[in-house]
Each structure stands twice: as C-alpha cells, then as structure tokens.
Structure 1
Amino acid sequence: MPRPEVLDRIKEAEQEADQIVEEAESDREERIAEARREADEIREEARQEADELEEERLETAREEIEARREEIVEEGEAARERLVAEAEEDMEEAVDYALRRFEEAVDAQT
C-alpha cells in the first residue's frame, strides 16, 4: 500500500475515532441529564409523600387532641354538677342551721 493511502486511512480512522468519542460524550451527557431528571422526580415524589405523611400525622394528632379535649370537658361538667349538688346540700344545711340559730335567739329573748 502506498504511503499516501496509509496516511489517508489513518486520518479516516482518527476522524472515526473522534466521531465515536463525540457520540460517546454526547450520550454520556444525555444519560447524566436523564439521571438528574429522574433524581429530581424522585426527590419531588419523596417530598410530596413526606408532606402527605406529615398532614396525615397532624390530622391524627388533631383528632386525638379533640377527643381528649371532649373527655376533659365532660369530666369538668361532671365535676361541676357534683360540686353544684354538694353546694345545694350544704346550702340546705346552712339554711337549716341559720333558722335553728335564729329560732334559738328568738326563744332566748322571749
């Protein structure tokens, strides 16, 4: 093979190699870009799932707080009713005591 043909073939091989390298780099960059897009999507999905989980937990906590609040209110109302009943009983006793003392004072004057 004459020397100019060998040089031409070498140049062609180098051009092919350069083209292969360019295509490989382009493919690599496309794959990296796709991987980044996928990573962004995964992060966004994870963030959304975390937000949903947080909202569910908050809702559960609110429900538990509301249930406990209702229990406390009911306990308070029951305690108030007991205190009112006891106070009414004490009032009747106090009125009876006051009347007896008054009658005793009146009887003592007569």
Structure 2
Amino acid sequence: MPRPEVLERIKTAENEADDIVAEAEADREERIAEARREAEEIRQQAEEEAREYEEERLDEARSEIEEEREEILKRGEDAREELVEDAQTNADEAVEYAIERFEEAVHAQT
C-alpha cells in the first residue's frame, strides 16, 4: 500500500475516533443532565411528600389535642357540678343547723 494511502487511512481512522469520542462525550453530558433532572424531580417529590406527611401529622396532633381538651373540659364540668351539689347540700345543712340553734336559743329564753 502506498504511503499516501496509509497516511490517509490513519487520518480517516483518527477522524472517526475523534467523532466517536465526541459522540461519547455528548452522550455522557446528556446522561448527566438527565440524571440531574431525575434527581431534582426525586428531591421535589420527596419534599412534597415530607410536607404532606408533616401536615398530616399536624392534623393528627391537633385532633388529639382537641380530644384531650374536650376530655379535660368534661372532667372539669363534672367536678364543678359535684362541687355545686356538695355546696347546695352543705348550704341546706347549714340552714337547718342555724334554724335548730335559733329554735334552741328561743326555747332557752322562754
């Protein structure tokens, strides 16, 4: 094979190799860009899921707190009613006692 043909084939092979390398680099850059896009989508989805979870937990906590609040209020209302009943009973007994003492005092003077 003549020397110019060999040089031409070498040059052609080098050009083909350069094209393959350039194509591989472009493909690599495209894959990297796609991977970054996918990673960003995953991150955004994870953030959204975290926000939803946080909101769900807050709603649950609010509900639990409201239930506990209602229970405390109910216990307080029951205790108040019991105190009112006890006070009424004590007041009735105090009135009876006062009347008895008054009657005793009146009888003692007569």
Which TM-score bucket, shorter chain as reference?
over 0.9
> Within 5 Å, which residues of 2 pair with 1:29-108?
29-108=29-108
Distance 2:33 2:47 in 1: 21
Q: Which runs of 5+ in 2 are unaligned?
A: none
Distance 1:47 1:99 in 2: 76
Q: Percent identity?
A: 69
RMSD, matched Cα: 1.2
Q: Which runs of 5+ in 1 are unaligned?
A: none
User: If the length of structure 2 is used for normalisation, what is the TM-score?
Assistant: 0.93
> What do the CA deviations read for 1:54-106 (whole angstroms, capped 9, x no partner)?
11111111111111111111111111111101100000101111222223233
**Partner SS for 1:89:** helix
Distance 1:102 1:85 in 2: 25
Letter in 2 for 1:106: V
Count of aligned pairs: 110
Q: 1:16 Cα shift?
A: 0.9
User: If the length of structure 1 is used for normalisation, what is the TM-score?
Assistant: 0.93
